[in-house]
Amino acid sequence: MSVVEKLKNESMKIRRDRGKLASFSVYVLSEIENVGKNAGNRETTEDEAISVIKKLIDKNKSVISVIKDENKIAVLQSEISLLESVLPELTSEDDVRIYLLHEFGQEKPSNKGVAMKALKTKFGSLIDMKIAGAIVTEMYGV
């Protein structure tokens, strides 16, 4: 089941139960839909949907770090929980290492960008590029 389908199902449950996150879930779905519409009036891809959700999670986390109101923090954390519940599991560090060894072996890639591009092509939005960058540096010293 795609991320958008999971989110639609959760949104329907929340709205049916008149949950506090009903309007937020509809907002997230519209943000995801807008990506495809703004890029040639097409369907939003899975990677694009995941990227939108990750950005919203990061945005909420940054807001939490600067506000003091406990009620607002609780709402933002519940929004984060909803978004994280629909995301697929990210690629593990072991999977990244295995892929890099398979792709490059013991040979050092010509530069870090080559390895990062290969990882992004293979795993798309399911990889944390910051962690992947650290792994590439650790393994190949680039």
Asked if residue 142 has pLDDT above 80, the reply is no
Question: Same domain for 48 and 97?
Answer: no
Q: Of 68, 86, 104, which marks where a domain is finished?
A: 86
In this structure, what is the dihedral angle of CA atoms 80, 86, 88, 90, given to the nearest 10 degrees?
0
Range of the domain at 125: 93-140
Give 84's contacts (C-beta < 8 A, 6+ positions apart): 57
Question: Same domain for 70 and 123?
Answer: no
For the segment 50-100, what is each residue's pLDDT rounded down to a tens digit?
999 999 999 999 999 999 999 999 999 999 999 999 988 888 999 999 998
Asked if residue 106 has pLDDT above 80, the reply is no
Do residues 93 and 135 lie in contact, with contact meaning Cβ atoms separated by under 8 Å?
A: yes
Q: Which long-range contacts (CB under 8 A, 24 or more apart) does 71-80 make?
A: 75/20, 78/20, 78/21, 79/21, 79/24
Question: Same domain for 46 and 73?
Answer: yes
